[in-house]
Amino acid sequence: MSMPKVSVGGSSGFDVPRHVAIIMDGNGRWAAARGLPRAEGHRRGVEAVRRTVRSAGEIGIDILTLFAFSSENWSRPQSEIRDLLGLLRLYIRNDLAELNSNNVRVRIIGDRETLSPDVKRLLEEAEGLTRRNDGMTLVVAFNYGARQEITRAVRRLAEELSAGRLSSSDITAERLSQFMDAPDLPDPDLIIRTSGEQRLSNFLLWQSAYSELVFVPTFWPDFDRAALEQAIFEYSRRERRFGGLAAAGS
């Protein structure tokens, strides 16, 4: 598919989704294709994170959510888990000041309770430092699984019920939404998965009810602004009906 030579956004471009979420996949295959260790794929993956955060800000995306570490990733070999945690630590240590000076607000979703105190502290520091920023919001999904998030939400709702603060007739989809990890953020308009795999893998299952899904063949370490724009272009050609009918005359 060829893309017209227009810039994304602005009067000459096409619609920019407000919230883009990305399943960053293919670091291992990128490395294997080059005879490199998987760790090198993840290291290059962090460079793609930097590029993508910068590009998303330039394009005018309001919220960028990145799936950095899933609840299921703990089943990987210990050495790979160490690499991934190390890269996240490094990313926050090296890039937090720059994100902050670029007015980026950092948010974290996922289960924090089971994380080690130093990682928990780092995530809190990133959120705390950038709390008042009002530029792009960067949501890092860390130790995140959608079924786990929904289960946590239901548990909190049940606690409200047993404390007598809510009754069963108060339970609606909207109410349950308020117990998710980032209830104040809008659902993603566009979810991109790299590396050619076509599934959600326990990512934002509640919030993706009406998201457009775009699967791109690029391995995550090769993802760049052009690939992001291409995915947004694909999104802009979709007709979003949210269960309703097509707009008259369309």
Token reading at 140 = 């890092």
Q: Return the range that interacts with ligand FPP (CB under 6 A); candidates 25-33, 123-131, 145-153, 173-181.
A: 25-33
Per annotation, catalytic residue among 62, 73, 100, 222: 73
How many residues belong to the chain? 250
C-alpha radius of gyration, the chain, whole number: 19
78-101 vs 117-130: helix crossing angle, rounded to 10? 20
Among 20, 21, 68, 139, binds ligand FPP (CB under 6 A): 68
Considering the complex, state which of residue 73 and residue 236 has its C-beta at the smaller distance from ligand FPP: 73
Q: Look up 134 and say whether it is catalytic.
A: no
* Longest Cα separation, the chain: 60
Considering the complex, state which of residue 26 and residue 233 has its C-beta at the smaller distance from ligand FPP: 26
Q: Does 71 bind ligand FPP (CB under 6 A)?
A: no
Q: Look up 27 and say whether it is catalytic.
A: no
Residue 27: count of CB within 10 angstroms of its CB? 24
Q: Which residues on adjacent β-strands are paired with residue 244?
A: none
Q: Does 83 bind ligand FPP (CB under 6 A)?
A: no
Listing DSSP states for 113-129 in one string gives TTS-HHHHHHHHHHHHH
Q: Does 49 bind ligand FPP (CB under 6 A)?
A: yes
Tally DSSP H helices, then E strands, for the chain.
Answer: 7, 6
Considering the complex, state which of residue 220 and residue 235 has its C-beta at the smaller distance from ligand FPP: 220
Contact 181, 192 (CB under 8 A): no
| Closest alpha carbon to 180 in 156, 209, 215 | 156
Considering the complex, state which of residue 218 and residue 230 has its C-beta at the smaller distance from ligand FPP: 218
Q: Does 227 bind ligand FPP (CB under 6 A)?
A: no
Q: Does 63 bind ligand FPP (CB under 6 A)?
A: no
- Could you list the residues that contact ligand FPP (CB under 6 A)? 24-29, 42, 45-46, 49, 66, 68, 73, 84, 87-88, 91, 140
Catalytic amino acids? Answer: 25, 73
